[in-house]
Structure 1
Amino acid sequence: MASKTQTTPETVAKEIVTEFGTFIRIFSDGSVERPSQSPLVPPSLNDPNTGLSSKDIEIPHNPTISSRIYLLKITNPPSKFPILVYFHGGAFIFESAFSKLYHDHLKIFASQANVIVVSIEYRLAPEYPLPTCYHDCWAALKWVSSHSNHTNDTINNAEPWLIEHGDFDKVFIGGDSAGANIAHNIAIQAGIEKLPYDVKILGAILIHPYFHSSNPIGSEPIIEPENNLFHKVWHLVYPNAPFGIDNPRVNPLGEGAPSLEKLGCSRIIVCVAGQDRLRDRGVWYWECVKNSGWNGKLEFFEEKDENHVYHLFKPESECAKILIQRLDNFVQE
């Protein structure tokens, strides 16, 4: 009798089963690679160029949510600063609150806009499919808000920088690309559910927001779903999304979406780039909010000659400096 060949996990070839350029590769054994991921960098105290300090903190949750917090140089007497809870981009599948790309950007923003920034390390798809990231970011914002009661000794893992220097009358949320999508969804949640101690979101910053739907808008080409990159990425990050690409998380006017009138903040700025494939979606979102009956202050900013998240890749460019100045004005109004 011929013996059967025994196959072990070690002898099975590891093959790529899903790949989106160099952004993500998923292998047959379930492992994931992110070749384009920006290198991770440590926080630093008293940055020599800005005087800014940063440190990594743990936000109580199940599981714990990591975050990086940025604080300006403290004067005497100590100052109170607006708070920005920030959600990084990366199509929900890569990048990090600890990456050099975002660390460098948020150092510039925090020092120029005079804000405390709390940058959230939410869990990524596909290991943690959506809506996981939204739950993580909402839990993080609730934890930040819990610091508004300065006499409360029951805050789990309380952060002194927030208690001593945070102005809870000036709480902002923001993000770029997928992070801007998260910021929108968090603003919607804040219109439905109260934050601890009735903290209000003053403003939301949406930079090059990641939205889509089954129907093309503006100059978007008509592409079959199986060939449409945005459709394929959405299916990867949220494979069981009700209504697919028209799920309210990615299509703010999709089936069952809450009215934009209920956005839980007082001010919104939508930023787009003229050469960005998501440009028309940002304009569409701005127009939808404008016509929704929402009674806050809505602003719009476009850099016509730049591409998606140009301010991250070219932070020293004049266009990036103009954007930062506009966001600084938005926060300080």
Structure 2
Amino acid sequence: MASTTPNTPKTVTKEIVVPNMGPLIRIFSDGSVEKPQSPFVPPTLNDPNHSSKDIVISHNPTISSRIYLPKITNPSSKLPILVYFHGGAFIFESAFSQQYHGHLKKLASQANVIVVSIEYRLAPEYPLPTCYHDCWAALKWVSSHSNNTLDNAEPWLIEHGDFSKIFIGGDSAGANIAHNMAIQAGIELLPFDVKILGAIIIHPYLQSSYPIGSEPIVEPENNVAHKVWNMVYPNAPFGIDNPFINPLGEGAPSLEKLGCSKIIVFVAGKDMLRDRGIWYFESVKKSGWKGKLELFEEKNEDHVYHLFKPESESAKILLERLVSFLHETIN
């Protein structure tokens, strides 16, 4: 067998393009992965409108977070808490990236909420359902602060957090995670019976083996969404109809079990996932779930436009609607 040298080119065994997400993802024969990533930025402790820092939630497994605290004007007043899950097709992006830092620091300061942005482990190095386990553990960790008995407690949550006003949210794959966290919260109690007040579902990454709305009929081997799912969750039970990706799939818990009292679903008219978001909204509405449900559509924008074009008028409108949703739900 011929020996290899450090300069020998790696053999690509898989490569895939994720629309609107970046260039090729390459998985090499040695298991290493090349994938796109927006630049990381440090937290900001001295911003006049907010402070942020990076914290460790768990060492085993490794789960961390960037937490945002808005400017405190009334130390005796407790603040709502938003636990946020970033997008990136379960494969890339980060709580520490420039895009998410820019978006969430604005949301924290404008909505006057504490944001806990979760850094979960990514596929394909850590295949699903790893990310769901990480995010549920993070949500339980946040909730456990309500009793102030944690060994690794975060002072900002203890001193400023209102645990009667917990929100979860995310975009794209992060919206998928937020949905699954809401389902889990309807099945399993969070520590000290903490309840999720509201869920923010932005451009959710959901799929099924059958097309929805105007989606074209595409053979599975040519369907990018199916390829991505097979990469991030190899041998998933029921494949693309697994309950984590298809909320109406085989064995999926009833949407009636969603463990929160209010949900807002965002869709974008030019997004390839637009009809899936509408499908999710309509499915929740028909499920018998007793909460309050809202839909917000920006007809002339594409997937996660608020991250790619944060200074656009559409992004500002989306941010305003997020702030309104949080304030309306609290009041």
Pick aligned residue for 2:215 from 213, 220, 225: 220
The letter for the 2-side match of 1:29 is: D
Equivalent residues of 2:82, 2:113 under 8 A apart? yes
Q: How far apart are the structure 1 equivalents of 2:117 and 2:6?
A: 39
The reply to whether residue 14 of structure 1 matches residue 10 of structure 2 is yes
1:293 is matched with 288
Taking a change above 3 Å as real, the CA distance of residues 23 and 52 of structure 1, as seen in their structure-2 partners, is farther
Counterpart of 1:186? 181
**Match of 2:323?**
328
Partner SS, residue 89 of structure 2? coil
* 130, 139, 145: which one aligns with 1:147: 145
2:199 is aligned with what amino acid? A
* Separation in 2, partners of 1:30, 1:81: 44
Kindly state the Cα deviation for residue 29 of structure 1 after the two structures are TM-superposed.
1.7
Cα distance in 2 for partners of 1:46, 1:311 equals 25
Residue 246 of structure 1: aligned partner: 241
**Letter of the aligned partner of 1:39 in structure 2?**
P
Deviations 1:149-181 (A, max 9, x none): 2xx3x3031001001101111100000000000
How big is the shift at 1:208?
Answer: 0.1
Give unpaired runs (5+ residues) of structure 2.
Answer: 18-22
Cα shift at 1:192: 0.6
> Which residue identity is paired with 2:13?
V
Contact 1:24 1:94 in 2 (8 A): no
Q: 1:57-84 deviations in whole A, cap 9, x for unaligned?
A: 0002522311000001112434311100
Q: How far has the Cα of 1:240 moved from its partner?
A: 1.6
1:83 aligns to what? Answer: 81
Partner Cα separation in structure 2 for residue 82 and residue 11 of structure 1: 53
TM-score with structure 1 length normalisation?
0.94
What does residue 29 of structure 2 align with? 28
Asked if the contact 1:67/1:118 (under 8 Å) is kept, the reply is: yes
In structure 2, do the counterparts of structure 1 residues 23 and 59 end up closer, same or farther at CA, with 3 Å as the change threshold? farther
Q: Which moved more, 1:15-24 or 1:210-219?
A: 15-24
**Percent sequence identity over aligned pairs:** 79
What is the number of equivalent residue pairs in this alignment? 323
Equivalent residues of 1:88, 1:179 under 8 A apart: yes
Alignment-derived partner of residue 272 in structure 2: 277
Q: If you compute each CA radius of gyration, which structure gives the higher value, 1 or 2? A: 1
2:20 paired residue number: none
Segments of 5+ residues of structure 1 without an aligned counterpart are: none
Superposed counterparts of 1:224-235, under 5 Å: 224-235=219-230
Counterpart residue type for residue 42 of structure 2: P
Deviates more, 1:194-203 or 1:14-23: 14-23
Could you report, residue by residue, the CA deviation over 1:83-115 in whole angstroms, capped at 9, with x for unpaired residues? 000000000000000000100010111111111
Once residues 42 and 79 of structure 1 are traced to their aligned partners in structure 2, the CA distance between those partners, rounded to angstroms, is 28
- Of residues 190, 203, 208, the one that matches 1:208 is 203
Change (3 A) 1:192 1:222: same
Aligned to 1:191, the other structure's residue is in SS state helix
Kindly provide the amino acid, as one letter, of the partner of residue 14 in structure 1: K
Which amino acid in structure 1 is aligned with residue 27 of structure 2? I
Q: Distance in 2 between matches of 1:288 and 1:170?
A: 26
Matches within 5 A, 1:312-327: 312-327=307-322
The within-5 A match list for 1:47-126 is 47-48=47-48, 51-60=49-58, 62-126=60-124
